[in-house]
Chains A and B, each alone.
Chain A
């Protein structure tokens, strides 16, 4: 078996990014769309940690950036789910294409 290199991690990360993008673009349920965004952010983190690892154990800058990405993911999930609750209270729906208030 081949040893695992950085390229393996990059390929995995690209695949996860594409799965997340398909989820964001095709699903109607807003909760699942938010979950797909988490998948995309995790793909980015895999990339960052893979490059951090490639530079050797003394270089942790990639991991620091991954921590900041996780922070952003938490903030995004909290605000997104808050918006979802406000939306559901007013429109009684969680389907993204039924929310067309701004559509003329």
Chain B
């Protein structure tokens, strides 16, 4: 019961934040709406017992990526851009295409409802009760998914070098 109420609160935060993000004229307002949306997603993680992802979402997205966005917004002069037209010439075609995709996805989700009940959740699971979510994630990440983990670290290294090179004075 209380779960249902919280789900709708967080879902409303997520969707309203997302809509405000793509409609605001001022980029700083967009960034703040995006923070609201990301916090809503973090709440949804908590509702689904993904406590580690909840913490990662807040620390990394709200603390890291958003500060990066705000830095760039302050660095780049957006006053001129805020005075101009906000939507490009193809917005009608884009909306029609997205509406078509929305109809298709909605149709599949609606008619496939019964297929998504994969298994009865074993709520009284022994492993999760003893270890907890964070330890389970760590166990899986550092054993089964060790190679993808290392590849991700190389990806981050390349991204760091790439963004430093991009932001240099003379390329």
List the interface of chain A (C-beta within 8 A of B). Answer: 1-12, 14-23, 25-29, 31-32, 34-36, 38-39, 42, 45-46, 49-58, 60-61, 63-64, 66-68, 70-79, 81-86, 88, 93-97
Contacts and interface: CB of A to CB of B under 8 A. Distances in A.
B52 A25 contact: no
A11 B14 CA distance: 13
Contacts of A71: 152, 155-156
A16 B18 contact: yes
A6 B116 contact: yes
Interface in B153-171: 155-156, 158-160, 162-167, 171
A85 B18 CA distance: 25
Interface in B53-83: 53, 56-57, 60-61, 64-65, 68-69, 72-73, 75-78, 81
Interface in B92-144: 94-95, 97-98, 101-102, 105-106, 109, 113, 116-119, 121-123, 125, 127-128, 133, 136-137, 140-141, 144
A78 B21 CA distance: 19
A21 B98 contact: yes
Given A25-B90, A68-B152, A79-B163, A52 B50 contact: yes
B133 to A, nearest CB: 7
Contacts of B3: 3-4
